[in-house]
Chain A
């Protein structure tokens, strides 16, 4: 079975501080995909990034960066110089192909991030 753990339920930081959101996953599959989504107050989940299990390169996109470490089964997300607009709930998700045609996307419980002006 697949599992995603986001141990941080809520985080609050002052604007311009850096913040890291943790994600730990479990799967027996050797091929899998990890995702991060942002859920602003409007409710719609917005896709941020996808990473496959064969690519452990870290990625940076503007103020966002992701650190993927297979050795610790973690896929952490860092926001540098946080802004009030970053306030949202962030979800980490895992996708594996159970069998062809039955891929499932498993979500963590989310981390609510509040940026204090």
Chain B
């Protein structure tokens, strides 16, 4: 079945460690997104990519990095520079470069700093 797969579902990070969240899609979508969800704050955009080998900072990019080497994959690295990384992370994709298309979401990764 077509869709977006995020892994792992739960992730624990020690202080000072970098961790990478995986996002893979088989929908043949050009655009991919990473959102962070905190209680009471909705979804905030971290990074997005409209095409392979290109990506743009979102509203809260500090402490995060991404790559887009393949159309299907858009991994997110949470670096030690991110001071408050505990949150629920959602990956999404959209077809084409059109504002009228809906985004499809993965099931999310819950990251906890221990």
A contact residues, total (Cβ < 8 Å):
30
Q: Tally inter-chain residue pairs, CB-CB below 8 A.
A: 67
Task: From known contacts A44-B107, A105-B33, infer whether A91 and B100 are also in contact, taking CB-CB under 8 Å.
Answer: no
A43 touches B97 (CB 8 A): no
Whole-angstrom CA separation of A114 from B103 in the bound complex: 25
**DSSP class of B's interface residues: helix, strand, loop or mixed?**
strand
B contact residues, total (Cβ < 8 Å):
30
Q: Write the residues of chain B forming the contact surface with A, with a CB cutoff of 8 angstroms.
A: 31, 33, 35, 40-45, 48, 50-51, 56, 58, 88, 90, 92, 94, 97-100, 102-108, 110
Chain B residues, CB < 8 A from A91? 42-43
7 contacts between A and B (CB under 8 A): A35-B102, A42-B107, A44-B106, A47-B102, A50-B100, A102-B56, A105-B92
